Chains A and B, each alone.
Chain A
Amino acid sequence: MWALAALLVLLPFGAFEWVARAHGFRPALTDTPDLWAYQRMQLRPHDARAVVVFGSSKAQLGINLDEFERACGTRPIQLAIDGTSAHAFLEELARDEAFTGLALVETGFLFDNNERHERRAQEYAASYSSFRGSVARRFDFRLHWFIGQALAIVSPDLSARRITEAFSAGHWPRPSYLRMSPDRGRFGDYQMVDSALLQRLTVNEFTTGGITLNEEQLAARLARVEAAVTRIQARGGRVVIIRMPPAVAARDDSDAARWEAVKAHTSALCLSAADDPVLASFKCPDGNHLDYRDAARFTRALVAVLRTRLAERGDTRLQ
């Protein structure tokens, strides 16, 4: 009885896997708080050469971890999270006295006042402490991690929700243009989608979804960020605040104004893609993120600029 049951499960699932792969689906992981917590745990203590990336999806899609490693020998830990602000994590890193490396803080949503972003950041931060404390959870995560990398049918592209959505929209499920590597690097292939449509969605999101901090709130946020920066840099760490290639105009104007405020209030090294002719030449096909092909070239250029700017401050950790 059990043999037949196993056969009845394995055969359809095997066929499903084969068909999925034939249609371009590949094993992919879902970005979960556990995956984030696992990556956070990879940050080596007291390692001056450690590099960690915080921020939103702009950093997750824009910084190519392989290229970064190739350019300077250090593989960054990718801790940017889709739709969150970096300040909560920067503060968490500041409290971690063992961190003496380089923190790259991308400014997307850093100066927004968005309850959803805050909630998500809190969820991830809370998850980290419980993940660290639970052997069983870490073991369970590794099993899911292993399976997620082995089977296409457990990828988020073939989740029940995606399949239902695809059928509701009247078509078969398609592989997503977004893909994530096990170390949370993300790749956006914008040749697979209608970029103009995505740009319209981005404009809509930025004009309706973003809640800008008022002056008083912005000052308070800047003070919190600066306190974290000071604490990290006082023990030999380094913080670089990065403004990625410009987003759609609806977002970019407010970003530019806030960028000036950031530069005026922080002791961190500030680096805006808009100020460098090479970095500024990159365009975001969806109005907010880089295509994975551009992300590789952008990362190489970013490392070169970073290396120079850090060297100007006597910091040779990326040499």
Chain B
Amino acid sequence: MTFNSLTFLLFFAAVVLLHRLPLPWTVKKFNLWVASCIFYAAWNPPFVVLLWIGTLVHYGAGRGIAAARTPAGRRAWLLCSLVVGLGLLGFFKYAQFLLDNLTVLLAALHVAYHPGRLDILLPVGVSFFTFQALSYTIDVYRGKLPACRKLLDLALYLSFFPVLASGPILRAGHFLPQCAQPRQAGARELGWGLTLFTIGLFEKVFLADGILGPFADAVFHAAPVASWRDAWLGAFAYSAQLFFDFAGYSASAIGVALCLGFAVPDNFRCPYAAIGFSDFWRRWHISLSSWLRDYLYFPLGGNRRGAGRTYLNLMLTMLLGGLWHGAAWRFVAWGGLHGLYLAAERPVRERFGDRPWAARWPVRLPAAFLTFCLVCVAWVFFRAPDFETAFAFVGKMLLGSANPSTIGGLRALTAATVIAAMFVGQWLLRDTPQEVLWRRLPWWLRSTVLAVLLGAVILAPGDERAFLYFQF
């Protein structure tokens, strides 16, 4: 059940109505938990059991950590949570990948090993709820958060349907306090929630699926004969598609949560207007990058153990971040490329970051565009089906190609217009929160914009596609 389906609209309307009935808060939370289980079961009913097992294990681990009298006891409970969380993730997401690599490794050692395919179905959102669960037990272990007493609250935190399939990745410290008191959206929250939901749908259905996706697909399918211009336009289109797809999902998720009275943090903040890669990661998939920072980069030592260790930590964090996105070396390469970008940026920023001229727009705008172009180069490893295609494609982008351009016409012009508008729009609004901008508009203009967005969603061309980040 995706946000861009009619079933979800009915489901969502029913949940909001139920949530607004004058019922005790515990009953409302229970209803939300049941709704979340139904939402998840809509993909594959047996996988709901995974959610329940995860909830019980992490609840027990949290309580165990809080009750343990010795550091060893606390560590044992944390280990239990980590083993179960990462074990499930590893089994469902990485077992085939590990087996394939083991086979290759053994073949290199002249050991013939030919296992059959495991055919393990990946549960939707497993990477997301695993990270939510781990952040909870780690925070309890670190003493940053009291162990959750109410199983229902933790169950709702781990299965809250707006964010269950593709995030944003919630933090227990942010969500659990919201479960303590009755919450119901007021007119303002409901209005802004529905607006965000509509904006998200527009980004997903009209821009990502209707315009950019088919264009990017056409370019990548014709990759062997792509020209330099085609390759860049295709990479830009895919970058824009990915942004509108995922930012659209996040906006919808935040909007849906808001309609139920829950605040979910932003996941995107004009990432393609970032100046440099550290800035990019403060703006792109914020909930993941901050998770990796807090639970991986900092524990590794962050930047406090000398320059060499800092670069190593950066690279490790980004490589694992890449692997989180998918069980394939292409994703690791993508993470590694971002690690290299961050490492290369660091000395430049230290040397020139505080110069007065660096703050002027004639420097900042080209720097933002360069960042965008390099980010697009990295996305090629996300989109290309294999390394061969990815390297050939990147080669065409960076070294040029003698092939004549094969992509043209109205479709290319439309895609180019959307990409240009996205870049300019993000640049102009890079520091303005969406809601502030929205509230500045007169009410009649807001109505008109909403009507246009809704109309575009209804008439959107293209096929219905699942959200790209569901596969992660």
Q: For B447, what are the chain A residues with a Cβ–Cβ distance below 8 Å?
A: 1-2, 4-5, 8
Please determine whether A136 and B461 come into contact, CB atoms closer than 8 angstroms: no
Of the candidates A2, A8, A140, A147, the one whose C-beta lies within 8 Å of that of B448 is: A8
Please determine whether B42 and A136 come into contact, CB atoms closer than 8 angstroms: yes
Query: Which residue among A2, A6, A12, A13 has the maximum number of chain B CB atoms within 10 Å of its CB?
Result: A2
Q: For B454, what are the chain A residues with a Cβ–Cβ distance below 8 Å?
A: 5, 9
Of the candidates B1, B7, B191, B410, the one whose C-beta lies within 8 Å of that of A2 is: B191
Q: For A135, what are the chain B residues with a Cβ–Cβ distance below 8 Å?
A: 42
Q: For A133, what are the chain B residues with a Cβ–Cβ distance below 8 Å?
A: 44
Q: What's the interface size class on A, roughly? A: 20 to 34
CA distance A276 to B89 in the complex (A): 64
- Is B56 positioned at the interface, with any CB of A under 8 Å from its CB? no
CA distance A166 to B454 in the complex (A): 24
Q: Which residues of B33-68 have CB atoms within 8 Å of chain A's CB atoms? A: 42-44
Q: For B6, what are the chain A residues with a Cβ–Cβ distance below 8 Å?
A: 140, 143-144, 147
- Is A197 positioned at the interface, with any CB of B under 8 Å from its CB? no
Please determine whether A136 and B460 come into contact, CB atoms closer than 8 angstroms: no
Please determine whether A160 and B461 come into contact, CB atoms closer than 8 angstroms: yes
- Is A42 positioned at the interface, with any CB of B under 8 Å from its CB? no
Q: For B460, what are the chain A residues with a Cβ–Cβ distance below 8 Å?
A: 160
Q: For A13, what are the chain B residues with a Cβ–Cβ distance below 8 Å?
A: 455, 458
What is the CB-to-nearest-CB distance from A108 to chain B, in angstroms, rounded to a whole number?
Answer: 26
Q: Which residues of A138-169 have CB atoms within 8 Å of chain B's CB atoms? A: 139-140, 143-144, 147, 159-161, 164
Q: For B194, what are the chain A residues with a Cβ–Cβ distance below 8 Å?
A: 2
Q: For A1, what are the chain B residues with a Cβ–Cβ distance below 8 Å?
A: 191, 443, 446-447, 450
Q: For B43, what are the chain A residues with a Cβ–Cβ distance below 8 Å?
A: 134, 136
CA distance A133 to B455 in the complex (A): 32
Please determine whether B451 and A8 come into contact, CB atoms closer than 8 angstroms: yes
- Is B444 positioned at the interface, with any CB of A under 8 Å from its CB? yes
Q: For A159, what are the chain B residues with a Cβ–Cβ distance below 8 Å?
A: 461
CA distance A131 to B10 in the complex (A): 19
Q: Which residues of B1-26 have CB atoms within 8 Å of chain A's CB atoms? A: 1, 5-7, 10
- Is B398 positioned at the interface, with any CB of A under 8 Å from its CB? no
What is the CB-to-nearest-CB distance from B185 to chain A, in angstroms, rounded to a whole number?
Answer: 14
Query: Which residue among A1, A13, A144 has the maximum number of chain B CB atoms within 10 Å of its CB?
Result: A1
Q: For A147, what are the chain B residues with a Cβ–Cβ distance below 8 Å?
A: 6
Q: For B448, what are the chain A residues with a Cβ–Cβ distance below 8 Å?
A: 4-5, 8
What is the CB-to-nearest-CB distance from A1 to chain B, in angstroms, rounded to a whole number?
Answer: 5
Please determine whether B450 and A140 come into contact, CB atoms closer than 8 angstroms: no
What is the CB-to-nearest-CB distance from A39 to chain B, in angstroms, rounded to a whole number?
Answer: 19
> Per-position contact with A for B210-221: 1 when CB-CB < 8 Å, else 0?
100000000000
- Is B413 positioned at the interface, with any CB of A under 8 Å from its CB? no
- Is B27 positioned at the interface, with any CB of A under 8 Å from its CB? no
Please determine whether B461 and A140 come into contact, CB atoms closer than 8 angstroms: no
Q: Which residues of A1-46 have CB atoms within 8 Å of chain B's CB atoms? A: 1-2, 4-9, 12-13
Q: For A140, what are the chain B residues with a Cβ–Cβ distance below 8 Å?
A: 1, 5-7
Q: Which residues of B205-243 have CB atoms within 8 Å of chain A's CB atoms? A: 210
Q: For A143, what are the chain B residues with a Cβ–Cβ distance below 8 Å?
A: 6-7, 10
> Per-position contact with A for B145-184: 1 when CB-CB < 8 Å, else 0?
0000000000000000000000000000000000000000
Please determine whether B5 and A2 come into contact, CB atoms closer than 8 angstroms: no
Q: For B410, what are the chain A residues with a Cβ–Cβ distance below 8 Å?
A: 164
- Is B459 positioned at the interface, with any CB of A under 8 Å from its CB? yes
Of the candidates A5, A136, A144, A160, the one whose C-beta lies within 8 Å of that of B451 is: A5
Given the interface pairs A8-B448, A8-B451, the reply to whether A134 lies near B42 with Cβ below 8 Å is yes
Q: For B191, what are the chain A residues with a Cβ–Cβ distance below 8 Å?
A: 1-2
Q: For B1, what are the chain A residues with a Cβ–Cβ distance below 8 Å?
A: 136, 140
Please determine whether A139 and B451 come into contact, CB atoms closer than 8 angstroms: no
CA distance A161 to B459 in the complex (A): 10
CA distance A5 to B455 in the complex (A): 10
Please determine whether B459 and A160 come into contact, CB atoms closer than 8 angstroms: yes
For B409, the closest partner residue in chain A by CB is A168
CA distance A13 to B457 in the complex (A): 13
Q: For B7, what are the chain A residues with a Cβ–Cβ distance below 8 Å?
A: 136, 139-140, 143
CA distance A5 to B446 in the complex (A): 8
CA distance A9 to B449 in the complex (A): 11
Q: For B10, what are the chain A residues with a Cβ–Cβ distance below 8 Å?
A: 143
What is the CB-to-nearest-CB distance from A129 to chain B, in angstroms, rounded to a whole number?
Answer: 12
For A12, the closest partner residue in chain B by CB is B455
> Per-position contact with A for B447-471: 1 when CB-CB < 8 Å, else 0?
1101100110011110000000000
Please determine whether B444 and A4 come into contact, CB atoms closer than 8 angstroms: yes
Q: For A8, what are the chain B residues with a Cβ–Cβ distance below 8 Å?
A: 447-448, 450-451
> Per-position contact with A for B311-342: 1 when CB-CB < 8 Å, else 0?
00000000000000000000000000000000
Please determine whether A9 and B446 come into contact, CB atoms closer than 8 angstroms: no
Please determine whether B461 and A9 come into contact, CB atoms closer than 8 angstroms: no
What is the CB-to-nearest-CB distance from A275 to chain B, in angstroms, rounded to a whole number?
Answer: 42
CA distance A13 to B458 in the complex (A): 10
CA distance A6 to B454 in the complex (A): 9
For A168, the closest partner residue in chain B by CB is B410
Q: For A139, what are the chain B residues with a Cβ–Cβ distance below 8 Å?
A: 7
What is the CB-to-nearest-CB distance from A195 to chain B, in angstroms, rounded to a whole number?
Answer: 30
Residues of A within 8 A of B (CB): 1-2, 4-9, 12-13, 133-136, 139-140, 143-144, 147, 159-161, 164
Closest 5 CB pairs of A and B: A8-B451, A136-B42, A160-B461, A4-B447, A5-B450
User: Can you name 11 extra interface pairs (CB under 8 A) apart from A136-B1, A140-B5, A143-B10?
Assistant: A1-B447, A2-B450, A5-B448, A6-B451, A133-B44, A134-B43, A136-B7, A136-B42, A136-B43, A160-B459, A160-B460
15 contacts between A and B (CB under 8 A): A2-B450, A4-B451, A6-B451, A8-B451, A9-B455, A134-B42, A134-B43, A135-B42, A136-B7, A136-B42, A140-B1, A140-B6, A147-B6, A159-B461, A160-B460
